[in-house]
Structure 1
Amino acid sequence: MSEILTLPIGMISISGGTQSRVALHQETVDDYAEVIRLGGELPAVVVFNDGESSGMWLADGFHRFHAHRAAGAAEIVCDVRAGSQRDAILFSAGANVAHGLRRTNDDKRRAVSILLGDEEWSKWSDREIARVCGVGNKFVGDVRASVCVPNTDESPVRVVVRNGTTYEQNTANIGKAKAAAPAPVSSAAAAQSPETASASPMPGTAKPTPAPVQPEPMDVEPAQHVVTEIDALREQVAELSESLRATLADNEMMGRVFDADDQLKAAMDEAARQKAIAVNAERTLAAKSGEFIERAKAVTYWQRRAEKAEKQLARLETAA
């Protein structure tokens, strides 16, 4: 549940590690600040309120926040949500997926690294972290491989969220192939072996009755290995399906980003047009004011000439 409020900028904290971008784009801040100076409105920033006096954590809208500061604004419109600093960090990891300035690959890597560096969130599956951060499963796997040091004592248990259900999964056997069992020796090959040849009866002697062949016990380990491989393949198929879904979602969201950018550009163009109209109106007013003053001076000049002529006419009439 959230509430739209206008808050003083000084109430909002931006130093709690809730910024998931590598750096701010100063040109974007300047563009937003110009919109604010011209009276335009920007979308509300998202903050999480933990109920304490210093608990207004900015989670989304850092460019808009700094633009308000640059424009000299004392207040900013906020989408206030109940939550802690950790809630703000988790929200920030997936912010700007569908709006605002498009994230770079470094921005995405930083967001994923923040979750992988956390004791609790690092236990999540690659698919869950990818969902939160708005990236692909393979991207998370590559980042995990680059930032996590292999540790044989590390528990292979991962927290997995699937179809709305959260459970723990042992990933120790996923991706591991079991060594193949040696091929059984055929009866024909055994007959040609040196041991068999030395045990052959001499010519003219009775052929001994062969001992009955005992069936070998069935090895259940390969069956269990097959089951493990099937589970691993199912997990890989599920991850590929999720990666495809995330890719399609990224494409759709990119369309929304372009639409949002077009709308912002249109708003800025309209603001610039209105500013040009205002400047032209001021110039026209100044010109008209100057013209009025000149005409007023001319009227005063001719009034004085008329008064002087009337006086001269009166003197002439008196003299006559």
Structure 2
Amino acid sequence: MRTEALFDPLPLPVAPSLLGESPFWHPSERALYWCDIPGRRLNRFDPRILRHDCWDFETEPACCMPALGGGLVLGMRDGLWFYRPEFHERTRLASPPYDPACERFNDGKADPQGRVWVGTLYEPKDRPAAALYRWRRGTLDRVAGDITVSNGLAWSPDGRTLYWSDTTSHAIMALDMDPQDGSLSHRRVLQQFPLKTPGQALETYGGRPDGAAVDSEGCYWVAMFEGQRLLRLSPDGAVLQEVPLPVRCPTMPCFGGDDLRTLYLTTAKHGRPAAELARQPWAGCVLAMRVAVPGLPVNLALI
């Protein structure tokens, strides 16, 4: 198993987020977007001119994705929205299918056909009450459940396998997807990581699966929250590569740059111990590193 990237991770010259999530590389803008969930902020960074723009909201933006024809889709606590950053204007696509007092949208992405997939996070985390939803042209359908924290959405290069994780149970799942109608079948566990035991030192804990992305070889890159590492898994779940990180809590990778060989990785500092943050000043920053295998381009949502 390889344990290196081509270059060591370095932070973008942007102030750290509390909980960075949902990064994507916008192909026409040639810029990186990501959310700061508890910071209630959407970020954009242009690496060519080192320009950082941000937009603040009254509620949490948990995920963002580009829309065909311009604008973005945002999954927020108060629903699913179409958003135009240039006007700071939201248009509701769907109301929240849950009680916003105890649940919110979390990880979300568009599939290769432009359908929007977004999961939820059940905040009490005392039972598997979260779910995965699929939105297409005005209709929001619940398509899977029995989880607590929906994460890790990504698709195989042929679009026939959906990857999905439940961070709380430390499980990454794979499901067969019909590209024509988006129906799912044959849900199975791709990789199961050991649960954290009471009192276990973080140095001996491998972390739990958070956000993810797939590269052009069909391998699944997953951020291991609290594990201080990024893993590259084969399509059958074998660990092919481990990248040690300078921060305890990575949250989600994506591929960017003109050649899609720059891996961007959001991280978190929210709620972390003061001593840990003192040792890890890059916590909350977006890290960038070069990788050998390019990623897949981001999918555009059809509105």
TM-score bracket for the superposition, by shorter chain length:
under 0.3
Relative contact order (alpha carbons < 8 A, sep ≥ 6): 1 or 2 greater?
2
Q: Name the TM-score, length of structure 2 as normaliser.
A: 0.22
More strand by share: 2
Q: Name the TM-score, length of structure 1 as normaliser.
A: 0.21
State which structure, 1 or 2, has the greater radius of gyration over its C-alpha atoms. Answer: 1
